[in-house]
Amino acid sequence: MTAHDAAVLARELARLEEIYADGIRAFLPENSLFERERIIAEVSNKREIAFVCGLLNEGENEAALILELIARARERDPAAPVEHMVEEMAYYLRTSIDPAWQLAARPPSATAAVAYLRAVLEARVSRLRGAPPSRVPAFVRDRRLLERIEECEAPASPAANAPNT
C-alpha cells in the first residue's frame, strides 16, 4: 500500500464516519426526548451502530473494521506491513456480496474497498430516507460495482504509463 493510498484511505474512512452518522440519523426516529443528535455525537463507534441498524451486513462491517485497523497501523508506522490485512478485508467484502466469490481476479485494494463501501452506504441511506418509518430497505450489493472500482484503482500497466508520443 502506497503512502498516497494510505492518505486516501484515511480521508475516505473519515467520510464513512459521516455516512454512518447520517444513516443512524435516518434510521432513528426524530424525537426531542430521544435526543438523537446527542446520541449520535456521543457514540464512539458509529460503524457498529450502523451495523446494528442494518446499514452494513456482517462481512461489510468486518471489512470496514479491518480498513480502520489498516489505517491505524499506517498512521502509527508508515512502513507497517498491512498486505495480510488487506487480503483478509477483501475476502470479507467479496463474500459479503456473494459467499461463493472466494477467489478474485485482481489483487485486493483497500482504496477500492472503501470506495465501494461509501457507494453502497450512500445508496442505502438515500433509500432509507425514502422508506416508510422503521423499514430498512433491502441491501444494495453489487459485485460489478466493486469490480469496476477495483479496475479503476488497480495500478496502471507500464504501457498505460508510457508518455504520449
Partner 1 sequence: MAGKIDVAPVAFFGHGSPMNTLDRNRYTEAWRAFAATLPRPRAIVVVSAHWYVPGVRVTASLQPRTIHDFNGGFDPALFAFRYPSPGSAFVADRIAELLAPERVERDATWGIDHGAYSVLAHLYPDADVPVVQLALDRTKSPEDHYRLARRLAPLRREGVLIAGSGNVVHNLELANRLRGAAPFSWAERHAERVRAHVAGHAHDRLVGYRDDGDDARLAVPTPDHYLPFLYVLAQRQSDETATIFADGIEGGAISMLSLSFGA
Least CB distance to partner 1 at residue 65 (A): 9
Name the percent of the chain in helix, strand, coil, to the closest 5: 65, 0, 35
Which spans of this chain sit near partner 1 (rule: CB under 8 A)? 66, 69, 73, 81, 83-85, 87-88, 91-92, 95, 99-100, 102-103
Nearer to partner 1, 87 or 151 (CB): 87
Angle value at C-alpha 25, between 143 and 111, nearest 5 degrees: 35
From CA 84, how far away is CA 62, in angstroms rounded? 14
CB 123 to partner 1: min, Å: 25
**Longest pairwise C-alpha distance within the chain:** 67
Cβ of residue 70: shortest distance to partner 1, in angstroms?
A: 8
For residue 16, how far is the Cα from the chain centroid?
Answer: 7
CB of 81 to partner 1, least distance (A): 5
Distance of closest approach, residue 99 Cβ to partner 1, in angstroms: 5
Nearer to partner 1, 84 or 144 (CB): 84
**DSSP symbol at 59:** H
> Measured from the CB atom, is 27 or 91 closer to partner 1?
91
Q: Please, which residue, 35 or 83, has the CB nearer to partner 1?
A: 83
- Quickly count: other Cβ atoms within 10 Å of residue 91's Cβ: 19
The region that residue 157 occupies, defined by phi over 0 for left and psi between -120 and 50 for alpha, beta otherwise, is: beta
Considering the complex, state which of residue 72 and residue 127 has its C-beta at the smaller distance from partner 1.
72
